[in-house]
Amino acid sequence: MSDTNAVDVVDLDFSYAKLHGLDPVPVLEGVNLTLARGSRCLIIGANGAGKSTLLQILAGKRLTRSSAKVLGAEVFFNTPKGVTYLGTEWATNPVVRSDLEVSHFLDSVGGYRYKERRDKLLDILDVDLSWHMHQVSDGERRRVQIVSGLMAPWDLLLLDEVTVDLDVLVRSRLLDWLREETETRQATIVYATHIFDGIDSWPTHLSHIQLGSTLPPSPLAWPLSPADAESLLPESVRVRMDDPNRRGSKLLEVALHWLVEDRKKRVEKEIADLGREKRGAQEANISSEAFYRKYDYSH
């Protein structure tokens, strides 16, 4: 086994290209993430924080000026074999919504080469080979995507919230199998999710992205050491984490605390930049209100 890290990202910046003549806005700034092989890292952050962008960079899909090493190689220029990325956009591709039988679809993407893993995944994800892709539900289509994406053995798996539409039994069985893959083959997983219940014992690390930057330490070892909990979390959150009657998992308490902090930071930034909050209810726009009062046909 190679002794290089699975992921080596230090001080990474990224902006999307200039749009409509406007200057590019930095989306990631000062992102750090170093993961040893065999890690299972959750990426946690608000909508728009930059999680998907980071996963796409790690998959070699986006060019950055910064270094982004994956399995020992600069990923954009020299994408190593063994990097698998699963994102939500797959399900909107017209090909996977056409009249195609699942067994044919899986063979067309190499299923016959990985029979043992394919069959195991078919059981875990409870997939019927005779389903037709244009007749399945969103969750069933997602299960087929996961089988097709995970059949070939991978060394680094990048999961962008593809478990959101799985039922809880299938999600839990899948996460157990993924854990086994990291423990038996030293494969590595980076998983961006907004669902934190039922997975307290799954990750080995967390990485918190706030407004495009990872907050140190990134990654943070999980479960938290008493020293990390003491230095990173306020007492109120630590008390809730230890409360057997808390509303959800320990991880959910940490994520909620981080998201509240993220929102506060974002509002502070908006007030500093614009003198007001940008989102939510705003003062009425008098001219448009006058217009719609006159031409509102809804009543």
Ligand X SMILES: Nc1ncnc2c1ncn2[C@@H]1O[C@H](COP(=O)(O)OP(=O)(O)OP(=O)(O)O)[C@@H](O)[C@H]1O
Give me the residues that bind ligand X (CB under 6 A), please: 16, 27, 45, 47-53
- Tokens 């984490």 belong to which residue? 241
Which of 15/172 has CB closer to ligand X? 15
Q: Residue 159: CB partners within 8 Å, gap ≥ 6?
A: 55, 86, 189, 190, 191, 192, 193
Question: CB 253 → ligand X: shortest distance, Å?
Answer: 19
| 276 token code pair | 């007001």
CB of 36 to ligand X, least distance (A): 24
Distance CA 23, CA 26 (A): 9
CB of 181 to ligand X, least distance (A): 24
Q: Is 227 helix (H, G, I), strand (E, B) or coil?
A: helix
Q: How far is the CB of 263 from ligand X (least distance, A)?
A: 13
Smaller CB distance to ligand X: residue 52 or 105?
Answer: 52
The residues facing 85 across adjacent strands are 158
For residue 7 the two structure tokens come to: 């992921």
Please say whether the beta carbons of 50 and 262 come within 8 A: no
Minimum CB distance to ligand X smaller for 47 or for 282: 47
Q: Name the residue type at position 111.
A: G
* Comparison of 147 and 213: residue with beta carbon closer to ligand X: 213
* CB-nearer residue toward ligand X: 100 or 195: 195
Between 240 and 257, CB nearer to ligand X: 257
CA-wise closest residue to 89 among 128, 123, 59, 121: 59
* Sign of CA pseudo-dihedral 193, 249, 189, 31: positive
| CB nearer to ligand X: pick between 165 and 228 | 165
Please report how close the Cβ of residue 28 comes to ligand X at its closest, in angstroms.
8
CB of 121 vs ligand X, minimal distance in Å: 25
Residue 228 CB, nearest distance to ligand X (Å)? 23
CB-based contacts of 32, cutoff 8 Å, min separation 6 = 9, 10, 11, 12, 214, 216, 218
